Amino acid sequence: SLASSDHLRHVESMTQLPSGAGQISHLNAVILGEPLASEENDLVFPSHDFSRQALVSSPEQYWKMYKRSVEDPAGFWSEIASQFYWREKWYPEVYSENIDVSKGTVKFEWFKGARTNICYNAVDQNVEAGNGGKVAIYWEGNEPGDDGQLTYAELLEKICQLANYLKHVGVQKGDAVVIYLPMLMELPITMLACARIGAVHSVVFAGFSAESLAQRIIDCKPKVVITCNAVKRGSKAIHLKEIVDSALVESDKNGVPVGLCLTFENQSAMKREDTKWTEGRDVWWQDVVPQFPTKCAVEWVDAEDPLFLLYTSGSTGKPKGVLHTAGGYMVYTATTFKYAFDYKPSDIYWCTADCGWITGHSYVTYGPLLNGATVVVFEGAPNYPDSGRCWDIVDKYKVTIFYTAPTLVRSLMREGNEYVTHYSRKSLRVLGSVGEPINPSAWRWFYNVVGDSRCPISDTWWQTETGGFMITPLPGAWSQKPGSATFPFFGVQPVIVDEKGNEIEGECSGYLCIKRSWPGAFRTLYGDHERYETTYFKPFAGYYFTGDGCSRDKDGYYWLTGRVDDVINVSGHRIGTAEVESALVSHPHCAEAAVVGVEHEIKGQGIYAFVTLVEGVPYSEELRKSLILVVRNQIGAFAAPDKIHWAPGLPKTRSGKIMRRILRKIASRQLDELGDTSTLADPSVVDQLIALSDC
Ligand code: WTA
C-alpha cells in the first residue's frame, strides 16, 4: 500500500529539495521499499491498519510537514504553539537565534515575550477541558498490589497544595528547588508545583550519592530540598533521607546552607520513628502540605524564563547544569510526544525512565501530561519480584505505549520468552527505545516477542540538552530498520560533518551536528555560558555538536554509533569518564586512573578502569573493592567500574597525554589493532598492561 503510484508522483516532486534539508533526499528509497519485513533489506513496515489510523500515515505527509518546518520554522511552530494557553502572545518574533560562535554569543529564544505556565497547560487545561475525571497518573509501587491513582482534578489539587506550601516558606519565582525523590507520585507533583510558581526545579536522580547531590546543591543553591525518608528497590530499602543529610552537611561546609528539607514519609519503606531528624530544618510533608488550600494561582512566566536545571555528565569531572526554559520546552516535548508515539487520547502510556533523568522530565511528566495522557509511574525494579513484572504491569493497566531502554530489553531477553508470553500484552500498540543505540537483535526481540510483531518501535535519539526527540521514527509514517533512529523530527536539521567540520552529503559517517535551533533546545549551562559555547558550538562553528557519531545509509536513514567524546552510556545512564577517574584518584592508594567504555552485553557499555597505584602499594582484592566503593560513594552505584585493570604505567605521549585509543583497544582485547605505539614516551607499558589483563 505504501508503494502506490501516488507515492511515486510525490517522490518525483520531491527531488528538488530546499537547502538544508538535502539530508533526507534519500527518503525516496523508503517510499519505494518492499512493504515486507525481510532480512535482506532490513525494512520493517508498519501494518496497513496502523498507518491508516496514524497521525502521520505516510512518508509524503511527513515530508510535507517536515519541509514546511524547516523552510518556515516561525510559521510551523507558531501554529503548533497556538494550541497551548498563553497569557500573552510572543512579541515581536516567534524565535531568534545565533548558533554561530564566530558571529557572537550563542543565543536561542523561542516565543520570547509570551507569558505562559507549563503546569497550567499540563494540568489545569485538561481539567478545564472537562477531563478532570480522567486518570492522569497510575502509580505502581515496588510491591505488586501496592498502587494508587490520581485523576487530573486530584493531581491539580495536590500540586496546588504543595505550591501553596512552597510559597508559604518563601520560595519565589526564579528560586531553585532540589528534588531527590524516587518514583512516587510526589515526584511529578513536586516538579509541577515548582513550575506552577515559577521556581526552578533541579531533580537529582535518587541513585546519586551524597557527594554528587552536594555538588549539585552547591552549584544551584536551592531554598528547599525535597526528599522522602526511604525507598524500596526490589527487596532492599535505601535510606534517601540519610543521603540528603550528609549532602546538606557538605553543602553547609561549602557555604551553601539549606534551611529546609521537606521529607515525604514513604511508609511502605520506612516508618517516621526510624528516620533520623534534624529539628528546625526537617519537616514532614504529610504534616504540612495537606493543610494548604487546593487552589493556587498560577505564576505567569516569560517563555524564556528558566523551567528547570538538570545536571548531566560531560567530558570533565564537573557535571553541567543544563538549563531549559518554559515556553519552547513545553511546545517541543508535547509535540514530539504526540507524533513519535502516535498518541491518541485513549492511550495508556508507560515510560520506565526515572524522573531523575531527562527522559523522565520530558516523557514521564511534561510531554504526556501536556497531551492529557494517562501515565503509569512505576516505583520499583523491572525484575522484581521476577522478570515478568513489566508485562504484568502492561496487562494490569492495559498499557498501549511502552517506552524503555535497550539495556532493559537485553536483560529481559536473556531471561527467556516465557516471562513475556505468560502475559497477554494485547493492549500494546507502540514501543519505544531510548538512551543508547539499540542493537538489531534486541530490536527484533522487542518487536517480535514483546510486541508480537505488530507494534512499531520508536527508537528515539535525543539528549538532555535537546529537551526532546531529535531523530525518531513516526511510527505510522515509514518503514523501520532495526537499529536505526530513522529520520529527523519536524524542525530538526541534522548534518553529518567530517573532522574539519565540513558537511558530508549522502551515504556517509562522521560527527552528528544540528544546524539551526529548535524550540526544546537548552539555552545555557547554568552559570557558565562560556562552557556552553566551548563544549557545544565551538568544535564545529555554525552547528550544535551532539558528541555522537552517526552514519547515514543509502536510504537516508540515520544510525547513531555512540559517543565520540569521553562520555559513556552505561545502561542508558550517561557518565563522564573524567568523573569516574576523579573519584578513583581520590582514593589514597590510587596514583592515576584512566577510564574507558567497553562493550557490555547487557549494559551497552561497561566501565573499564586502568589504575596505577601509589609506589609500594601492592595490588589486592581488598583494594580493588575499596576502589569500586569510592566510586559508588562519590557518584552512585550505577557508576561502579565493571573492571579494574592494574596498570604499572599508562600509555602516554611524550607530552604526557594519555593515549585512550590504545587503552580502549586493550580493554576490548583488540590487541592486533593497537596501532602505532612508537610515539609513546615508553612503549613497553603497553606490553605490561597486556600481561596484566587478566589479573
Ligand atoms: C545516547 C538521553 C542511540 C547518545 C535521552 C546521546 C542514543 C546520549 C539514543 C544522551 C538512541 C540517547 N540511539 N543513542 N535512541 N538515545 N542516546 O543526555 O549517545 O542521558 O548523546 O539523554 O545518549 O544521553 P542523555
Report the share of the chain in percent with pLDDT over 70.
Answer: 94
Torsion angles phi and psi, residue 158, rounded to 5: -65, -45
Determine if ligand 1 sits within 6 Å of the CB of residue 463: yes
pLDDT at 568 over 70: yes
Determine if ligand 1 sits within 6 Å of the CB of residue 515: no
Q: How many CB atoms lie within 10 A of CB 31?
A: 22
Cα 463 to ligand 1 centre (Å):
5
Taking the CA atoms of 163, 164, 167 and 172 in sequence, report the sign of the dihedral they define. Answer: positive
Please indicate whether residue 565 is annotated as part of the active site: yes
- Beta pairing partners, 594: 610
Q: What mean pLDDT is reported for the chain?
A: 92
Residue 317: predicted pLDDT: 79
pLDDT at 8 over 70: no
Cα 461 to ligand 1 centre (Å):
6
Q: Each residue of 75-112: pLDDT tens digit?
A: 999 999 999 999 999 999 999 999 999 999 999 999 99
Specify the ligand 1 atom closest to the Cα of 465: 18
Cα 611 to ligand 1 centre (Å):
28
Determine if ligand 1 sits within 6 Å of the CB of residue 605: no
The answer for residues whose C-beta is within 8 angstroms of residue 170's C-beta and 6 or more apart is 223
- Beta pairing partners, 457: 431
Specify the ligand 1 atom closest to the Cα of 433: 15
pLDDT at 39 over 50: no
Give the pairing type, strands 401-404 and 348-351.
parallel
Determine if ligand 1 sits within 6 Å of the CB of residue 124: no
Report the share of the chain in percent with pLDDT over 90.
Answer: 89
Determine if ligand 1 sits within 6 Å of the CB of residue 563: yes
Among 392, 553, 565, 642, which one carries the catalytic annotation? 565
Determine if ligand 1 sits within 6 Å of the CB of residue 315: no
pLDDT at 451 over 60: yes
Determine if ligand 1 sits within 6 Å of the CB of residue 459: yes
Cα 280 to ligand 1 centre (Å):
42
Instruction: Read off the C-alpha cell for 339.
Output: 507524533
Atom 3 of ligand 1: nearest residue by CA position: 437
How would residue 677 be classed by pLDDT, with cut points 50, 70 and 90?
A: confident
ipTM for this prediction: 1.00
How would residue 694 be classed by pLDDT, with cut points 50, 70 and 90?
A: confident
Determine if ligand 1 sits within 6 Å of the CB of residue 437: yes
pLDDT at 171 over 90: yes
Rounded Cα distance, 652 and 643, in Å:
21
| Most ligand 1 atoms within 8 A of CB, residue of 574, 575, 603, 638 to mutate | 574
Q: Each residue of 306-330: pLDDT tens digit?
A: 999 999 998 887 889 999 999 999 9
Residues in the chain: 695
